[in-house]
Structure 1
Amino acid sequence: MTTFILASASPARQAVLTAAGIDALVHVSGIDEDALAAANPTALPADLVVILARAKAEFVAGALREQHPDAVVVGCDSMLHLDDELIGKPHDEATARRRWAQMTGRAGDLLTGHLVLRISGGVVTSTASGTCSTSVQIGDPSDEELDAYLATGEPLAVAGGFTLDGYGGWFVDGVIGDPSSVVGISLPLTRRLLREVDIRVTDLWRTRPGAEGNGHQGAVNK
């Protein structure tokens, strides 16, 4: 059986996969995303999210290919594109507050980049990458609501400073495109990329809805 490895620390991405029938092995790359983005200042927005996704996937593949010689590794990265700027994770409350002042009542493009890497017999045999863009209409929270949202800590560690599937969902007025990409992993794009490396997504599913996992669920090196 091919092991599905998610090169991401995001519990939201894992939850999307679990709900869609895949029990992913999670391994965090530890890549410094801000440093890598700074090292690629001329990259186009759609290219930069793939560069970051590639770095994560390649790091994890190198760490796990002996332990999991037949696997597919999926790297992911997301950023909000607004005002010709890519907005990543705020990391602190002051930055998140500034981002929300910029985003409130406006629409931005959530760019999600994926890199799918196939390992066969302990050797990387093929890769596929792509990006999808989803328009997100941000709402207009009151000052009290924004204070409460920032106090949860949730927006500090997510692209753009908001979520669709958590507390932030209260302040997202609409989505045009793939909702799963806003959560962090685009199911349609991942399916297409898996097909490019000769893996059918249906072969990675649990045998039936609600069945026990295949033993790969959980986190490694969190």
Structure 2
Amino acid sequence: MYKLILASQSPRRRELLKMLGIEFDIKVSNCEEIITSSEPAQVTMELAKQKALAVANELVKQKAFETEIADVRAASDTKNEENIIIIGADTVVAVDGEILGKPKDKDDARRMINKISGTSHQVYTGVALVLVKDDKAACIELFAEKTDVEVCEMSSQEIDDYISSDEPYDKAGGYGIQGIFSKFVSGIRGDYNNVVGLPVHRLYYTLKECAKSIADI
């Protein structure tokens, strides 16, 4: 068995992960994001891996420190230490070759919504699973899921009204498909939950496979 940790402060990812019916803890990573690719799927995987590894490394250091200050324990105690799987995730919107992250301000939000209005765009969520076992951390799964989203033509007034709400500013692409923006979404192809922030279906089956093989890693 293993303990599950979500390396994200996103309330949407927290709610999505609850759908799996698995208990988990939350530990937010504060790593510096380093991007080496311009390809959306690769970017999300890079950032997801960085987030998960940052949390994993903190846990490894913490465990090492606790071992140093603790009394000498029986060898069996060390052998029975719980394995930990950390989930890192990152979501971006891509349209016409441009990657859209979270808007910096109102003008940036307006630019993003204008760009996706009346178009089809792609939403990518990268997921990394990092295993902490025997005081070592390693990425054991890394993938990106893509969903196509179609947005109807929005009027200038509709755009102004939308960016005046609180909804755009903590979301990739400046919109939340599960919120008031939903009335402008004319169709999707792929996993809806992926657009919200986590590909629940694929993650569930990936974790199932990990559970089968974790003892051999």
Q: Distance in 2 between matches of 1:27 and 1:142?
A: 41
Q: Distance in 1 between matches of 2:138 and 2:30?
A: 24
Q: Which protein is bigger by CA-based radius of gyration?
A: 2
- Greater share of helix: 2
Q: Does 1:157 align with 2:152?
A: no
Write out per-residue CA displacement over residues 105-145 of structure 1, whole angstroms, 9 at most, x where no aligned residue: 11101111110112224332551101111001123333333
Q: Does 1:54 align with 2:49?
A: yes
Letter in 2 for 1:27: K
Q: TM-score, normalised by structure 2?
A: 0.80
- Number of residue-to-residue matches in the alignment: 195
Q: Distance in 1 between matches of 2:9 and 2:104?
A: 15
The alignment partner of 2:103 has SS state of: coil
The alignment partner of 1:118 has SS state of: strand
Letter in 2 for 1:55: Q
Q: Sequence identity, in percent?
A: 30
Q: Distance in 1 between matches of 2:174 and 2:189?
A: 19
Letter in 2 for 1:9: Q
Report the CA distance shift for 1:141/1:60 in structure 2 as closer, same or farther (over 3 A).
Answer: same
Unaligned runs of 5+ in 1: 201-222
Q: Does 1:101 align with 2:114?
A: yes
Q: Does 1:92 align with 2:105?
A: yes
Which position in structure 1 is the counterpart of 2:13?
Answer: 13
The alignment partner of 2:121 has SS state of: strand
Q: Does 1:110 align with 2:123?
A: yes
Question: 1:25 offset after TM fit, Å?
Answer: 1.3
My pick for the range that moved more, 93-102 or 185-194, is: 185-194
Unaligned runs of 5+ in 2: 64-80
Q: Distance in 1 between matches of 2:16 and 2:90?
A: 15
- 156, 159, 179: which one pairs with 1:143? 156
My pick for the range that moved more, 162-171 or 104-113, is: 162-171
Letter in 2 for 1:93: K
After TM superposition, the structure 1 = structure 2 runs for residues 156-195 of structure 1, keeping only pairs within 5 Å, are 156-195=169-208
Q: Distance in 1 between matches of 2:95 and 2:206?
A: 27
Report the CA distance shift for 1:199/1:79 in structure 2 as closer, same or farther (over 3 A).
Answer: farther
Question: 1:198 offset after TM fit, Å?
Answer: 3.4
